[in-house]
Structure 1
Amino acid sequence: MGTMDMRGVMGPRSLQPGTVLSHYRIQAWVARGGMADVYRAVDLQLGRTVAIKVLSPSLVADPDARRRFFREARAASALQHPNICAVYEVGEVGDIVFIAMPYIVGKTLRELLEEGPLPIERALGYAIDIAEALEEAHRQGIVHRDIKPSNVIVDERDRAIVLDFGLAKRVRWEGQGADDALTLSQITTTSALIGTTPYMSPEQVRGEPLDARSDIFSFGTLLYELLTGRRPFVGATDIEILHAILHAEPEPMNALAPHVDFELARIVRKALRKDPADRYQTISEMKEELITFARERGYTVSGFRIVSIERTTQEERRRLWRMPAARAMGIVVIGLLAASVFWFFRRADEPSGAEWIATLRHTQLVSWKNEPGEGPPRPRFSPDGKLIVFASRKGGQPDLWVQQTLGGAAVPITRDEWSDRSPIWSPDGQRVAFLSDRGGDTGIWVIPALGGTPTPLHVIPQATGGRLNPVRLIAWSAKRNAIYYEAQRNLYALDLASRRAMALTSFDPQTSRVMDFSLSPDERRIAYVDVQGGQADIWILPIGGGEPERVTASPEEERFPIWHPDGRRLLYACKWGEVFQICLKALDERTPQRLTASEADLFIADISSDGRRLLYSLLKDESDIWGVDVQTGKEVQVTTEIGLELWPAVSPDGRALAFQAKPESSAGGDLFRARIVVRALGDEEAAVQFTTDGFDPAWSPDGRHLAFLRRGSDGQLDLWIVPASGGVERRVTRGVYHGGYGLLPFHRLQTRDFSWAPDGRRLAYASMRTGASNIWITKLDPTEDVRVTENADRTLVFSCPLWAPDGRRLAFVSEAREASEARWTVWVSEVERKVVLPILRSSDVVRLVGWIDSGAALLIAIGEGARLAPYMVREIRLFRVTVPEGKRQPLGVLVEASLVTVHLSPNGRTIAYISRADGQDNVWTLAIEGGRATKRTENRDARIYFSTLAWAPNGRILYYGRQAGWSVIKMIENLP
């Protein structure tokens, strides 16, 4: 669709749905402000939903209005923070001037206040979020000047985000120009360019030069209103309100809201002092007092993600010292008093401040749009720190790339059909060792650092890799002339002289869950992650023997430890809320320091030999749910929110869609932490969130309940049900096994990981609760678990239980993970008779698609390539297998199709699947009795990927996820 000519059509709500403005397609009008209209739109280049703010037609020719509009864009674009609404782009198309920003679903604080004052805990969470945003703005020398409830939106993650930097100004700390002053005459005009009267500071009313302390006053006004439900300065007219701001004192908060604690009222009162010198001198100081108050009262606040004691940079301190001497002396005294008060009230187990954190510099080295199956890259520094090496599919195949840390383009050093990964440098920086499947087995290979012919070093036995058995190169030692690597849940050293590998640890690969080994600089100790009771902590173990020592004991997950070159500290990824951040912990100290505050998962990768620089990577993902009518080919976007929406499930009556959602831009590390959302189909009703912690929803046959999985505090997956009309959630069983998912796209690897019986009173699932994998049934009324299989072999893993239409039989799959032949078996159980029969055996990957012929047969898909992960299989043979005879009948071959996307229609006559036959993901259908496959979608973007399909009950609509992902490698500099 081309760009429309917008000249001559400017009027109220003039941009109609479907209009293309630059590379944004307008979807709907959202709101109108004093000088602009806001629309919801989709970015045609990146496929994401955005908000488009369009300057009102009446103001386009007004130079002051245009200046303010572009000032907002410049101010916000300089700020990158999760609590600040960013600016993607500023543009002009004809007479239309616009700003593209993230589209945030939520309510403003003004809307929330319509229901009355907020609970203290909630108000504190939002206040700390706002303070974090102002802290970043002030650090950049930007004053907002218009903090008020309608300029703060609370998104679906219950996070406060500051909007509208239309009045923002960069502060001239050594004296401002005359254009920065706001006069009383300006305030009393109808101009749209001035802030909101009830939230102005006294110096703003007087037209004096403004600094960050003006925002602190407005922030105090906002917090007063959040806690009491009314503004601190009131009047019948604007003039009366302005007079109150200058001369009146607010009514005591506890007179309006007796539940407000005296200490909290003191904090707000200090922010509302008339003289800026009597207020908090930095927003950081006020924020820390709010955090201290929250902790001492036992509140858990959503905005509190990090204990940052003092983040005022040296530049900010210099600005304070440039003020007149008398004021500067006052600031010094207040600062010393604040520091002493904070030190007195700070709990002993809280981390002390680290000013150097504010001096850390983040530099993006390389980024690319991901290919299927691509996980987070693990880049490594060369010994001199001038180069990095990393594995990437950016060229189409999993190859190795080298890039300079000072800039320039990445250069591939392998480029072939083999899968190359986990590179490490030789001690002299002249070679790179890596893992590769060239030759048919996973082994260690070596290649010159700038490319050449790879040579083999060692084959790693049973190196299947993946999440259940990670294989990774760790270090190349000059001291021992050895390469250290991780395999079979243990650490090994490959002696390069003898080419013999020796195990350095003795963990049981069948029962232990250790991973992420890291070698200390003196090669005498290892750090690693051990998952015990569902909790992932970091431990240290002497290589020569001795007892392990626990380093972390947080209830949150820790991963990827890396030794600092000084041997006294560890860096690692720490789960903070729902996102992995980077933490630093001295071994002789109790509390770690958090170095980052990212919205996306950060995967720490390496540290330079001098300890001054750090490499990490992050994944960014976007996924929306779409539907296609298989008769007309019409495609419709069902969800448009920022983040991930995927794994759709259609209600039995076809009127609602359940799916899981993650607002974060990164979820590859844990899709199991998500929300279950239900959206009515065919109308504009808002989605209903059923649970904030769950995944993989499935409707009961009568549509009255939703079943879903949830990870418990012990790490196990529990099966829950909730009434579809809303109500109390109920856990029905524990310890459910899930077959996992692919990273890009986020394919669920099994047809179902649990399934409802046709009577709606039983659920079938797999579990390893007895130590070995078995199929189980849980009965709902009353709740009772019944074991279907009697397996004791711990190398055999069962999955994908599917009920026959008669409700008396179950089909399921097993995988013998250590077998070389007949690795996969399809079984059928007569539940009441407790008879279990093998129906099919295969050395290639098997997908149990479903029951056909009214329960007389099974449709089974077999992928060529026994060693491949299920989501990598591209050639598929389809079979009808009769039950109980096990007679096979070939039905056809699918080429360039994804095995894990094959889904059977409700009537059992048609399959749908995703294929890249033409180089792009598209949905195809095929009648199982023969005929030609038909492409049902028209995607032409090679970097858009489709994930897990779901049929509507009438067999006419197919729903699926449309996903894009990016990998980014960054470097942190200035580590101490």
Structure 2
Amino acid sequence: MALTSGTRLGPYEILAPVGAGGMGEVYRARDTRLGRDVAVKVLSTLLSSDPDLKLRFEREARAVSLLTHPNICCLYDIGSQDGTDFIVMEYLEGETLAVRLSAGPLPLPLSLKIGVEIADALDKAHREGIIHRDLKPGNIMLTKSGAKLMDFGLAKPFTSTLGGVTPAPIPSQDPPKMGASALTLPYAPSTEHGTIVGTLLYMAPESIQGRPADFRSDIFSFGCVLYEMISGRRAFNGESRLSIVAAILEKDPPPMASLQPLTPVALEHVVLSCLMKDPEERWQSARDLSRELKWISAGVGLTRAPESTPRHRGKLGERLAWAVAALCIALLTWLGVAYWRSIQSVETRHLHLSLLPPLSTSFVPYNFAISPDGRRLAFVAAAQDGGTTLWIRSLAAGAAQQLTGTEGALYPFWSPDSRQVGFFQASKLKSVDPSSGAVQILCDAPGGAGGAWNNRGAIIFAGSTSSGSISGISKVSASGGEPQLVIKGSESNASIFWPSALPDGDHFLYFIIGSSNSRRNQGIYVGSLSSQEPKLISSEIVGNTQFASSRLYYVRDRSLMAQPFDVKRLQTTGPPQAVSRQELEVAPVFAHAGFSISDDGVVVFQSATESVSRLSWFDRSGKGLEELPRTGYRDPALSRNDSLLAISSDDDHNGKHYIHIYDIARGTSTRVSDGGTEVFPVLSPDGKRVAYAGNDGRTSQYIDVAATDGSGKLERLAASDFLIPNDWSAGGRFLVFMNIQNGASELDILDLSNHSQTAYAPGTEAQFSPDGKWIAFSGQKAISGEDAEVYVGRFPGPGRRIQISNHGGAQARWSADGKELFYMTNDKKLMAVAMDMSHGEPVAGVPHVLFQTRISAARTVLFQYAVSRDGKRFLINSTPSTGAAPLTVLMK
């Protein structure tokens, strides 16, 4: 029965009716206690008379009331008076998106703005364990303060587990629609009742088929809304319910560019990914989706889909014509006016593009190179199954070509004529001709750490000796042959990485990480193919450096810098200028930043502000279970009882990493470090302390220990060049850590009872067995990422080493009972080996593959996964199958 003005429902005084729907009436009311206007929905008799439905609604309403977000309509209260049940919400003034769309498509900037706001709202709901299940234009209100997501009447709470979500128990039949929006309009598409819950036109395939919905179902509905905002028509239409169902289950909507020719290609890709039939192929979080839309919004007007037949509609047609003309001018400037680019200062760079990876792949960090002519990009991409291959993409055409025979490729680099690409694969240096696809083996190159192709037909590369340490810089003919050592590593100049050719064909740049005996030797050097005497250019530059357009490019303090450089005098001639500020970081240990420069100054980089990986749980078959809600997490370490997770977290996506302790049972996170450079945490056996590595901004310097509850003071355990803690012994007395000096890694043992330090063995990534009598570790070659094997050695020794892996391995992890050992292969497969510990020394079984991972590492070194206590689940720092962070292109 309709309420009249002046009726009181508790403290709420009815002012006027607003609208009505099948589940109740909505009124504007006054909260007499707080003096504010609210929306009151009086629930239908159907809901109020069913005790089970009413109880469920109240429980879900309480969950929704916790959603505080600027783009979510707030639920204030729920109550009952004299048999009348009602809910109280934020009163919104504006119009629904459905009403706005009745006038046609929205301008692209407005569509992106609304899309970002609703994606952020969905992200908030999903992180709180709630899926909406009825996302549609009628449930989005456009207000002066922005878009508001409304009507959580069909919202389903999920049970949150370590930031992931798993469906709560589902009754045999869902309740009918329970509207909670401030306004339900009679001309908006109705919400279906009964077993199909939601609005058919925006419903995900799995919901139509009666399968449980999850947050990816919301993402499908969101894709339908995005499509409609941009194109002006619904993604799926039909003359009957049956034809609509058939369209959703079997058909793809027409490309948006065929309806709106200026639709950005990247936006088409985003919406297509939302509308994939299989939930596993969609965006896996609203947060990543929001970030993609923000990237597109920042560059809108620069990358557009090709225009077909132009539409002339008065002023609109004129504006479209001007937009197309502007696009053509931008492309001509990009591809044809190299001279203009070369004379501009660094600060005048203005064309900013985002490149997405091929569909269902993600970019492998640090593994891309722009061709010298600035026209093509070589990059390594990971497929959904974790396999990686080399691709070539034309920046002008946008098409990407996958090169067969390049599986597992690393660190691509171009020939000076931009016709061939060099790369490392399986301890070999190889080249490929993208036009023919022909791959050629040039020479052996174990532990390849960067290569460069000079204009005299020689390739210069960094490689390692058979012992695994970085040996220096070698050269080989571009047609192949026996490599010759040019720069030899020694005790005084430690590890050598990342050569880069200079234009005279003789000199090249390379980077040295100084040892503790000679820190002064660290920096960027110029070497020569005709002389053994290198020249120090700068001791302040840390990491890979490239020369282009009379400048040296490198990363300092997370900014890409360009500094004038005289190639004849081999010295800098002026102060550096920032090309891109606070967007890059230098990778730990390998001192490599993800950027590449063409000869005429086209810059490509991958931003550190948008992480490309996230921690995800998998079972022993490789099935994805759930993932932590945030990107920016890495270096996972579980406590012995699985109650705590230690991680290195880039919370603000600004390149600053802190150690966090996540309490799995309570769902809380505590930051325990404050330097912003902390990585590689390991938890003590009792879970009360965490050790981690920190650095001074140039190299890893120390190991600190903090209390996992955030109390007390930090304790400094050790300090040197590169120190990485690996594990605590079972009793907590010993800490094993990697001590990286002079290009090699040694495993050292720290006795915490007296702070004495002893060497254990050359190697990396060590972990004590559960009984503390053995240590599993990778051979020393693991520091170069190639040809390492996993061993088990007695602790404290002496005793022989027992080889566990047989075709390369790293990151060995014990099961909690010591009866199984896990490790990663070089091609990122997770392996398991049965261990019989009952014979005085371990007896290893035959290694077998559990599953192919997408572990986030160009090389599988340094722990990036953790094993649950029962050995049935694995938390892996994984690159996403789709939706990874794009590459950014900067041009003048």
Higher-RCO chain (CA-CA 8 Å, sequence separation at least 6):
2
Q: Verify: 1:549 aligned to 2:572, yes or no.
A: no
> Could you list the per-position Cα deviations for residues 848-886 of structure 1 after superposition, in whole angstroms to 9, with x for gaps in the alignment?
422655xxx54224655x4542854644553332xxxx5
Contact 1:154-1:160 at 8 Å conserved across structures: no
Query: Partner letter of residue 726 of structure 2?
Result: C
- Select 1:578's aligned residue among 600, 607, 610: 610
- 2:243 pairs, out of 177, 192, 199, with 192
User: Partner of 2:607: helix, strand, or coil?
Assistant: strand
* 1:763–1:941 Cα change, 3 Å: closer
- Over 3 Å counting, the alpha-carbon distance change for 1:159 and 1:528 in structure 2 is farther
From 752, 755, 766, the equivalent of 1:836 is 755
Cα pair 2:526 2:534 within 8 Å, conserved: yes
1:573 CA drift (Å): 0.9
Q: CA–CA distance in 2 between the matches of 1:124 and 1:335?
A: 34
Match of 1:902 in 2: 812
Conservation of the 8 A alpha-carbon contact between 2:766 and 2:778: no
Match of 1:800 in 2: 726
2: CA distance between counterparts of 1:723 and 1:920? Answer: 29
Q: 2:750 aligns with which of 827, 831, 836?
A: 827
Q: Distance in 1 between matches of 2:736 and 2:890?
A: 55
Aligned positions of 1:172-187 closer than 5 A: none
SS in 1 for 2:437: coil
Among residues 561, 570, 582, which one is paired with 1:538 in the alignment?
A: 561
Show the counterpart of 2:690.
Answer: 763
Which one of 376, 397, 409 corresponds to residue 361 of structure 1? Answer: 397
Q: Are residue 382 (structure 1) and residue 405 (structure 2) matched?
A: no
Report deviation, 1:785: 2.0
Residue 473 of structure 2 corresponds to residue 447 of structure 1: no
Structure 1 equivalent of residue 664 of structure 2? 724
Per the alignment, residue 624 of structure 2 pairs with 639
Deviation at 1:351, TM superposition (A): 5.3
* 2:604 and 2:889 in contact (8 A); partners too: no
Output the amino acid matched with 1:826: I
Q: For residues 424-823 of structure 1, what are the structure 2 equivalents within 5 Å?
A: 424-428=452-456, 430-437=457-464, 442-461=471-490, 471-478=497-504, 481-488=506-513, 490-503=523-536, 505-508=537-540, 514-522=542-550, 525-530=551-556, 532=557, 535-543=558-566, 544-552=571-579, 554-557=581-584, 562-566=596-600, 569-575=601-607, 578=610, 626-628=618-620, 636-639=621-624, 661=627, 676=628, 689=629, 691=630, 693-698=632-637, 705-711=644-650, 715-726=655-666, 728-735=668-675, 753-758=681-686, 760-768=687-695, 773-779=701-707, 783-787=711-715, 789=717, 791=718, 794-795=720-721, 797-802=723-728, 804-805=730-731, 809-818=733-742, 823=746
The alignment partner of 2:432 has SS state of strand
CA contact 2:747–2:760 (8 Å) conserved in 1 = yes
Q: Secondary structure at the match of 2:420?
A: strand
RMSD: 6.0
Q: Residue type of the partner of 1:192?
A: S
User: Does structure 1 residue 409 correspond to structure 2 residue 437?
Assistant: yes
d(CA) in 2 for partners of 1:353, 1:705: 42
1:591-618, Cα deviation, whole Å (9 max, x unpaired): xxxxxxxxxx7xxxxxxxxxxxxxxxxx
Change (3 A) 1:352 1:693: closer
What is the SS of the residue equivalent to 2:309?
Answer: helix
TM-superposition CA deviations, 1:166-212 (whole Å, max 9, x none): 99xx99xxxxxxxx9xxxxx98667716999xxxxxxxxxxxxx997
TM-score of the two chains, using structure 2 as the length reference? 0.52
Stretches of structure 1 lacking an aligned partner (at least 5 in a row):
1-81, 84-104, 127-145, 172-179, 181-185, 197-209, 217-280, 288-299, 341-347, 580-600, 602-620, 629-635, 646-660, 662-675, 677-688, 741-752
- Matched-pair contact (CA < 8 Å) for 1:826–1:838: yes
Structure 2: 5+ residue runs without aligned partners?
A: 1-111, 114-128, 151-198, 206-213, 248-253, 268-289, 327-346, 355-373, 376-393, 514-521, 586-592
Post-superposition shift, 1:755?
A: 0.4
Q: Normalising by structure 1, what TM-score? A: 0.48
The alpha carbon displacement at 1:527 in A equals: 2.0
How much does 1:575 deviate?
A: 1.6
Counterpart for residue 391 of structure 2: none
SS in structure 2 opposite 1:575?
Answer: coil
Aligned residue number for residue 164 of structure 2: none
CA contact (8 A) 1:870 1:899 kept: no
Distance 1:518 1:900, change over 3 A: closer
CA contact (8 A) 2:493 2:742 kept: no
Q: How many residues are aligned here?
A: 588
1:860 is matched with 775
Quote the offset at 1:924 in angstroms. Answer: 0.8
Shift of 1:551: 2.0
Q: State the alpha-carbon separation in 1 of the partners of residues 500 and 264 from structure 2.
A: 40
The verdict on how the C-alpha distance between 1:694 and 1:423 changes in structure 2, with shifts beyond 3 A counting, is: closer
Is the Cα contact below 8 Å between 1:848 and 1:861 reproduced in 2? yes
Q: Structure 1 residues 850, 738: closer, same or farther in 2, change over 3 A?
A: farther
Percent of paired sites with the same residue: 13
SS in 1 for 2:442: coil
2:777 touches 2:811 (CA, 8 Å); kept in 1? no
The match for 2:310 among 306, 309, 320 is 320
1:860/1:880 contact within 8 Å kept: yes
Q: Work out whether residues 896 and 915 of structure 1, in 8 Å CA contact, stay in contact via their aligned partners in 2.
A: no
Instruction: Find 2:318's aligned residue among 332, 337, 342.
Output: 332
Match of 2:792 among 878, 887, 906: 878
Q: How does 1:76-225 map to 2 (within 5 A)?
A: 110-111=134-135, 117=141, 123=147, 149-150=202-203, 155=216, 162=223, 192=243
Superposition deviation, residue 474 in structure 1: 1.2
Give 2:751's aligned amino acid. Answer: V
Give the superposition deviation at 1:380. 0.6
- State whether residues 493 and 502 of structure 1, in contact with CA within 8 Å, keep that contact through their aligned partners in structure 2: yes
C-alpha distance in structure 2 between counterparts of 1:764 and 1:496, whole Å: 44
